[in-house]
Each structure stands twice: as structure tokens, then as C-alpha cells.
Structure 1
């Protein structure tokens, strides 16, 4: 089964997400169980960020921090180019308002960490720089995403408030810093048990998705969203990704980056983090809105993995072909 999914470029985690959405649709948590599930989900997210902090290597930061022009360009792509596109998409008529907001919200999120680094490595890019760019983007997103959300979404109707930033600092940043502070003592354990601890990441996200979609279903989510609108969201996600990748490729060449650094810009600059986006949405939006808000992010998550997997293999094949040609 795993081989078939890999051949089709389908992330098994996507199937888990779809199963969680189905469960929340049929059996949403209500009453006291909703509060219990929400509390467990919050604890899981705090643990997730604690582990991310423990996994972040200071040596990798120092090795990759030298390419500051590259990191600034990745940051501009993530937090400037993407939001501009998101604002344009929101202006398209015919999209259900909460889904349009979800598309804009996903463009305000930071980059992924694991997949950005993995695809950069497969494609033969600058892995050390990818570690720094992706990690910095994820950490900066804890502050930048709430500010952009207040500016473009919630602030439009509720006014600016520092409460979301305070909540995020307590729920996400403090566990992250605690994990990184304790890295000298627990870093080895985290590294040795990377596969097992990976289940913590996914379980935490699934719990948040379950509680979010359960609340949205109780508010009539599936009566508001049509199949046609879901297809439109998928098409928009593919279009947004294509525009960002084309612009990133052009900018990388225009700035004279090496092939290895252009690969970092392409893969780190074009991604949006589901692992960070789901808990941030839970803090920034009312519970009944979170399900619809993260729906476009779930589409974009799978599309970016499929497209980047194909591109990474092509980069790797091209590098192998160039290496073999130089030897003959």
C-alpha cells in the first residue's frame, strides 16, 4: 500500500486527514467531549512545538546563516509575494467567503521545515541553508502570521488586538524555546526516536483537525460548501503554487544565486506549513470557523508535496546526467 501511494505521489498523511474529516463529519465532538478533545489537542500542539525546538540544531543555524541574501529572499517570497497573491485571490467572485478567507490565510503562513529540507536534499541543493531558511520562516511565522492576519482578515472587522500574539507566545513559542533550551539534555533522545516522535506531530495535527471540523460541521459547514467550490479551491491552490515557483525561479537567476541556492529558494519559498497553520488557525479564529479556514490549506499541502516531489526528482536526475557527462 505504501509503495502504491509513493508511486502516485500521495502522502499517506493526507488519507489520515481525510479520515479525520470524515469522522468529524459523522461523529463531531460535542459538549464536554468537545472541551476534553480541545484540551488534549492544545496539549499535543504544545508538545509538538517543544519537540521542534529540541530538534533545532544551533550548529546547523551557524552553518547556513551565512547565506543571508538567500534567507531574506525566501522570507520575502513567503511573507510578501504569497500574501499579495492571496489578496488577489480573495477578490475573485464566486468563492464562499470562509473558503476565500482560508486561501488568504494559507498565503500568510510560514514555510514547512521537514519537507523543504528533504526536497532540497533530494534535488542536490544547499541543505544547510535550507535548514536555516525553513527554521527561521517557521519561527518568524509565529509572530508575522498573526500580524498579517490581523491586518488583512480579523482586523478588518474586530480591530487590532495583541491577544492572539500573547496566546501564541504562551501556547507555541514558550514550548518551542523550552525544547531548544533543553536540547543539550534531550536532543540525543529526540534524534534517536525521530520516527516515534513523528507520530506526535501527526497525532497533534489530527486532533486539532478533528475538533475544528467537528465544530464547523455543527455550524453547517457542508451545507455551505459545494463540490464545485472544493474543485475551485484545488485549482486555485495549484495556480498559486505555479505562480510562486515561476517567480522564485526568475528571481533566483536574476539575483545570481548558485544552482544549489536557487533550489533552496524554490522549495523553501513555495511551501506553506500545515503543522504550523492548523494550531495558528485554532488560536486566531473562532472554533466554528477553523474547519473552513484550514480546508484550503489541506488542499495546498498535498498539491505542494506532489509537485515538489516531481521537481526534486527531475533536479536530481539532471544533476546525475550532468555529472556523468563530465566524466566521459
Structure 2
């Protein structure tokens, strides 16, 4: 036997449940009835242009706004999911600097892709898009170096980087003023070991649309350096056949710095020291020595003697 208080509450709870059920059912029926009605509403559709030739660029995409007449269920779906319309480049009418599709063409295209009748679609404006042709140009890349080395260390050779050129794409008039690009600063301090890394190109101030790469790879080969001095014979060139001279000194010392790992690989045969007689002034009676051949990896060559005295023999 139920307590008296439960007897009083149970009919009231059942009554509340019935009321809520009737309320929800009524709302559901009303909602379904509303969805079955026909409405006309304005929608902005997403669209994508397919098969656009690579050498063309759309300058600014126009919004695609249409009026659609359909039942509430269809319109609810379109508003929630906003399906994308694909427009083939071949559908456009082409002009020098824009492409367009008129209202009739849009109605046909949209009704087909949304599976609606043509009379349910109404585009009030044509779709007009400004576009331009992309030109390409190869430009030089220059590394922006900011390096310091530990004492006794230096680069074996110039910094190696790849690619040394990049291709940029854009308007012809914009590309005409672009010939090169620098990297962002390549900054390393107290270097004593070789480095391989990547660095971005500084493209911020360039007026372009696309670029084939915005990063380069670089390598800095580093070694400990030491000084070496060798003695070289002096060769006189451009001496007239009817002239015979005597020079002093006949040999000169040249000092330079080189990688420690290559110290024993360098000898006098790797160098050539000349004096060009055709550049001599008779009144001065001396020749200027010049080092015209040396290994690429040596640095800071210094000749101990800056002048070669000569005497013309009778």
C-alpha cells in the first residue's frame, strides 16, 4: 500500500509528463510543417575555379550570391553545409583582364550541381573576376652572412649554398625591377666546426605572386688555419725578343694562411709569380711582382718584396 503522500504526487507527475510530451510533439509537428513549406532566400555560395591555366592568376574573387526557392529542408541543408560549386575555366567568357559568366550560365551551372530545377535558381548578377597572366623570371640568390670565428679558424672556401637561383612568378611589370634576393641573416658566432643548415629567403619586400622555393641550403666548411712561407722563382713575361735583362732578386718569399689539414699538400709548384715587363716604366728601373696562380683554399697572401729591380744588358 502506497503512503498517502505518494498517492497524491503520482497523478500530478503523470499529468506533467503528458503535458511535456504533448508540447514536444506539437513543436515537432510545427517544425516539420515549416520545413515542408516553400521559401525564397538569398545564399552566398562557395565556389572553386577548376582547370585554370597555371600562367593565370585570379586577382580577387567575387562573392557568388544567388536567390534559391525551395522547401525549408533543402534550404536548411544548404545553409548548414554550404556545398562548394565547381566552375570550369572553359565556362567563362574571356577578356583581356577579366573572365565572366552571365546570370543564365550561373543558373544552369548551379541548378545542375545542386540538383535543383532551373526555375528555383536566380542569379541577379554576373560573376566577373579580374585576372592577369603570370610571368616567370630567374633571379640570383645572395647569402647575407654575419659570421665570426674562434681565433685560428676560418672557412676553407666560400660558403656553399643551393639553389643559387630561384624562379619567381608575377606581373611582368613587377618582375622587371627584381634581379636578386638576399637570405635572412646567416648568423653564427665563434665558429670552429663546419656547419650545414637552411635559411629562409628575405622575400618580404618583393612584389611577386609565387616562388618555386623560399629556403636555401648552405654549408660553411671550417678548419684550423696556420701560416706558411715558401720561396718562388720570379718569371718575367712580355719581354721583347731583342731585350735581355737581369733581375734582382730572382726569388721571392710569399707568406699565406692555409688549412692545417692541407699544410703538407702545398709547395712552390702550386704557385706562379710573374713580372710583366710591358707594364714597367723605364725611368723607374723596377718591376712589380704579381701572384697569378695559387691554391683556392689559401688566404691572405703577402709578398715579402714589393719591387723587383732590373738591369738591361747590352
TM above 0.5, yes or no, is: no
Q: Which has the higher contact order (CA 8 A, sep 6+)?
A: 1
Report the TM-score, using the length of structure 1 for normalisation. Answer: 0.14
Report the TM-score, using the length of structure 2 for normalisation. Answer: 0.14
**Which protein has the larger Cα radius of gyration, Structure 1 or Structure 2?**
2
Which one has a larger percent strand, Structure 1 or Structure 2?
A: 2
